[in-house]
Amino acid sequence: MTQRVELAAVMDRLAVDGLITDYAVAVDDGDWEAYRELFTPDGRADYRSAGGIEGEVGKVAAWLEESMRLFSMRQHLIVNRRVRFGVLDQDRGDFARVQADYVNPMRLAADEGPATAPDFVCGGRYAFELLRTEDGWRVREVVVREKWRRQPGQVGSG
């Protein structure tokens, strides 16, 4: 590899990492317009394994906006990011797959008063499909695969 190719690969990886971080921040902050802008025009999201819906990004963003009102605090921690770059057949842009684990502590909105530990925690794995667009890397699809959750009143982590 030439230095130019290596630099381009590093820049792509940083941009992809930034996109995944922006995804987590948009959900945690309830910035649904920013969430929508992270996706391609035909972008889709699938939250069915976590009790949610699957569909085009506008529909899913509206569902998230409504359902996330249950939680006064959300904090996605996205780790173990595995990025694989490739080119799709008949695709002018670049393509990437990202597999990333998450832990998501949340506090129910009914819990008023000073900040306390979260009372709802879930974890799992995201599978992102990304495309490079004229506006940079965007999410074409995200699938959430929830592996576990701990709800109020439960003991342990399962």
Read off the pLDDT of residues 125-156 as tens digits, 9 standing for 90 and up. 999 999 999 999 999 999 999 999 998 666 55
Q: Given this model, what pLDDT does residue 117 score? A: 77
Angle at 53 between CA 48 and CA 58, to 5 degrees: 140
Q: Which pTM was predicted?
A: 0.88
Q: Given this model, what pLDDT does residue 52 score? A: 96
Tens-of-pLDDT digits for all 158 residues of the chain? 577 667 888 899 999 999 999 999 999 999 999 999 999 999 999 999 999 999 999 999 999 999 999 998 999 999 999 999 886 555 554 899 999 999 999 988 876 666 677 888 999 999 999 999 999 999 999 999 999 999 866 655 44
Which contacts (CB < 8 Å, 24+ apart) does range 151-154 have? 151/119, 151/120, 152/108, 152/119, 152/120
